[in-house]
Amino acid sequence: MYSIVTNFKIVNYFKRSEHFKVNLGMVSTLVDKTGERRNNENDKFAFYYNNLYNTHIYAQGHIGDILFYLDHYIKDDVLAVYINHEEFIFKFDQSLMMEKGPNFYLGNILKELNEQNEERVKKAEEEKLKKEERKGNPDSLIQNPGAVSYDDLQAYLDKKRKERYSTDN
């Protein structure tokens, strides 16, 4: 599920698509039993965004499984595209939108989005492998205390913790 948050002007360009279905979503706040207002948790993405940026977004509609939201505080010509809670920012290209139309433009954004997401996943896997490679040496704290790294200290503490728990049992 994709969610796009942008300003009023850009949302109106996407509304020109013959596939755009208007869906104004749910109210952003509710009155609870005590009479106080709280954020509506029924629209999971809007609730997440509202808590993250401390602002309210308003559903405008969808094209397939791509939801469009309006944030009145976005003044720049950008689109914030979300896959789950991963944020990708794209600069809006008005000339491409006018030349090729909203359907082509959206397809272009999705293509770039998938490429960027693959790069992020690949980079995260590489970082994970690097972190696993940087296993510390617990003995270097005693053997060479001047050249101790954080990983060495972490390995030493893990070793001591395991020793303590194995003797306690």
Give 10-residue mean pLDDT values along the chain (169 residues).
95 96 85 85 91 92 95 96 93 95 95 93 87 75 80 85 76
Quick check: 11 and 20 in contact, CB under 8 A? no
| pLDDT confidence of residue 133 | 67
Question: What pLDDT does 168 receive?
Answer: 63
Separation CA 2–CA 18 (nearest Å): 19
